[in-house]
Amino acid sequence: MQKNRIKQCITLFSASLLLWLLWGFWSFGKEISYFLTALICIVTLTLCIWFFRQQKSPPYLKNALTNLLPPDNYQGAVIIVCGQSQMLFHENQTYRETAKGWYIRAASPIDLINITQHIVDIAPLQLRQLSLLYALLPEQQLQQEEVTQETLNWRRAIHESNKKTGKTLPFWVTLYLNSPVNYLNSHFDDITPWITYLNDQPELLVISDNLATQSISTWLSQNREQTENQLTMALWLDQLLAWLKSEFIPLLTVAQSGSPSLIPVAWAMQFTTVPTISNNSWAQFIHHKTTLFPAIIKTSNNNDELPLPDIVIDKLTYDVNLLKIETTFGVVGMICGLFLIGALSGSYHHNKQLIYDNSNDIKHFKSISDENLEPKKVAYQQLLSDATFLSHWQREGIPARYSLALYQGNNILPYLHALLSSWAPPQPPAPIIVQDVPEMVTLDSLALFASGQYKLKNEATKVLVDALINIKAKPGWLIVISGYTDNTGNPDLNQKLSLKRAEAVRDWMIKTSDIAPSCFAVQGYGQHQPVADNSTLDGRARNRRVEIRLIPQADACQVLADDLTPLKDGGN
C-alpha cells in the first residue's frame, strides 16, 4: 500500500537524520555512539519490515474494492452505507450512483474497515467528501440482543475507520418506516417527503423536491380539511421518536470499551413502503404502547430499492483535513524541525565548551608570572595550539558540530593572536660549537732523512704513504707540515734544516697524490718547541720530528694557506 511505502521512506529519512545528529552534532563517545547506531539500524529495519508486511493484501480483495470506488475525477459526495443496507441495494449491487453522491455498500463491519483503508491508500482525495451513513429499518429488526451486538460491532468498525482516515468522518442515519394507513400516498400523490434533523436546528424539517423546506409543525397544519390524517401522522411520528430515544439512540451513546459514543450529525427519515417481518422491534414497541400490532406490509417486489437521502448531502459538514501529500510534508517538516532543534542544541553545547576551554587556557596563561618560565612556556604552547586549531577551521571550514551560525571561534581567534603577540618565550642560548682539534701525525726525522740532510731516504716511502692515507681521509682540509730539530749544532742551520725537511715532505705528497698545492702549508721551527729534554739521547730523538696537522673547515685550504708562512727564525 502506498501509505506504508511512505511510512518506510519517512522511517529511513528519520533514521538518517538521527544518525547525522549522532555523529555530526552530538558527542557521546565512540562506544555509546556505536551502540546507538546499531540500535537505530535495528529499529529502522524492524519498522520497514513491519510496514512491508502490512501492505500485503490479497489481489482479488484489492481489485474488488477498487471497483467500488468512483472515478478519480469524481467531485460528488462519497457515502459508505452500513447497518441494514441490504434494502438500499439490489442483491448483487455494491454501489449506487445518484445525482449528488456515490453510495458504497458495506455488508459487514470488516467491509467498512477494508473500504475505508482502500480509500485512504488509493483515493485519498475522496476523504474530503467521505461520510458514513447508517441505514435503520425498525420493521426489519427482531431480537434486541442481536441488534445490540450488531450495533456495537458497527461502532467499533466506525471508530477504526476514523483512526485510519485520521479524522472524524460525518456519521448520519437514514430511517425507513411504513406510513400510517396510506396517509402520505393520498396526501402527496406518491411523492414522499423526507423528515430531517440536524444538530443545530430547533425542530424537524420536511424536505421534498417539489416543496419548499418547512418545519414539521407547518407541514402538518397545511391542509386543515385532513385533520384526522394530520393527527395520525403526528402520533405516528411521536411514537417513532420515542422508539429512537428508548431503543436505538442508547445503542449509539452507551459507553463501551473500544467504541466511543456516536452522535449522528444528521437524521433523514422517510415513511415509505417497507417489507416487514413478524414480531419486529417496531411492532413490539407499538404493541407495548397500545396493545395493538401494526399491519404487516407485503410488497409486490422485494427487490425494489429504497430511496437514498440525497436531499441531506448538501447539509453535511466535513472536518477540514489535509491531503496525504500535505500530511506527509507536514510530518517531514516536523522531523526536520526536530532535527534542527537537536543540531542547534549540539552546536550550542560544543561552542559553549569551546569558549569554556579557551577561557580557561587564557586565564591560566595570564595567571603565571613571567619569572616562572617553564609553566609560562607550557601555557603559551597551549594557547598557540588553540590558535592553530581555530586558524585551520577558519581556512578549511568549520566542523558541523560547531556550525549553524553559533560558531564563536572567529571572535576568539583575534584575541588569542593579540595575547600571543604580547609575550614571547626567551630565545634558547646559542649552541656552543666545539671545533675539532686538528689531527696531527708525527714522523721521526731519522726515519725520513739522514742526519743533517733534507733529502728523503728511499725507505721513507712507506712511512709517508701511511701518513698520506690519513690525510686523504679528510679531503679539503688544510695540511700543515712542520719540521723540528734537536739543539745540536747551529740554531740558524737547524731552523733552515727543519724547513727544508718540511718542504721535502710536502713536495713528495704533492707529487704522489692529487691534493692541490694550495692545501699545504710548511713551517720550520728548528730546535724551538721541543717535546722532550734535549739533554738525553731519547729526548733529542723525540725532538727530531716532522709533524703533519690537519685543520678542519672545507675552505681552510685557501684561507689559511695565505695566512700561514714558514718561520724563518724559529719560535719562542
In a domain, 434, yes or no: no
Whole-Å CA distances, 500 to 230, 505, 514, 567: 167, 9, 22, 11
Strand partners, 177: 271
Strand partners, 522: 481
- What is the pLDDT at residue 566? 46
Residues 25 and 153 in one domain: no
**Could you tell me how far CA 38 lies from the centroid of its own chain?**
15
User: How many structural domains are present in the chain?
Assistant: 4
Q: What angle do CA 127, 133, 135 make, to 5 degrees?
A: 160
In a domain, 427, yes or no: no
DSSP-based three-state secondary structure for 266: strand
pLDDT in tens, the chain (572 residues): 566 778 889 999 999 999 999 998 888 888 999 999 999 999 999 998 888 876 655 554 556 677 889 988 898 999 999 999 999 998 888 999 999 999 999 999 999 999 998 888 888 888 889 999 999 999 988 877 888 899 999 999 999 999 988 888 999 999 999 887 644 444 444 567 899 999 878 889 998 877 788 888 888 877 655 666 777 888 889 999 999 999 999 999 988 887 889 999 999 999 888 888 888 889 889 888 888 887 766 655 555 789 999 999 988 888 766 666 777 888 999 999 999 999 999 999 999 999 999 999 999 998 988 888 888 889 999 999 999 989 999 888 888 888 888 888 888 999 899 888 888 877 777 676 655 555 677 777 777 878 888 888 878 788 888 887 777 667 777 888 888 988 888 888 888 888 898 898 888 888 888 888 888 889 998 888 888 888 888 888 888 888 888 887 556 565 444 454 444 444 33
Last residue of a domain, one of 375, 393, 421: 421
Residues 498 and 513 in one domain: yes
Last residue of a domain, one of 272, 304, 321: 321
In a domain, 189, yes or no: yes
Residues 403 and 469 in one domain: no
Residues 554 and 516 in one domain: yes
CB-based contact 25:346 (threshold 8 Å): yes
Residues 449 and 386 in one domain: no
Residues 353 and 391 in one domain: yes
Residues 87 and 204 in one domain: yes
- What is the pLDDT at residue 513? 83
How far apart, in whole angstroms, are the C-alpha atoms of residue 40 and residue 558?
80
DSSP state of 101: E
Whole-Å CA distances, 36 to 19, 68, 339: 9, 47, 16
Residues 334 and 237 in one domain: no
Residues 372 and 292 in one domain: no
**CATH number of residue 443's parent domain:** 3.30.1330.60
CB-based contact 500:448 (threshold 8 Å): no
In a domain, 217, yes or no: yes
In a domain, 143, yes or no: yes
| 3-class secondary structure per residue, 287-337 | HHHHCCCCCCCCCCCCCCCCCCCHHHHCCCCCCCCCCHHHHHHHHHHHHHH
Residues 354 and 300 in one domain: no
Residues 228 and 275 in one domain: yes
In a domain, 97, yes or no: yes
Domain containing 360 equals 329-421
How far apart, in whole angstroms, are the C-alpha atoms of residue 490 and residue 333?
116
Last residue of a domain, one of 301, 321, 341: 321
- The predicted model scores a pTM of 0.56
In a domain, 198, yes or no: yes
In a domain, 35, yes or no: yes
Half-sphere exposure of 400 (CA within 13 A, CB side): 11
Residues 498 and 556 in one domain: yes
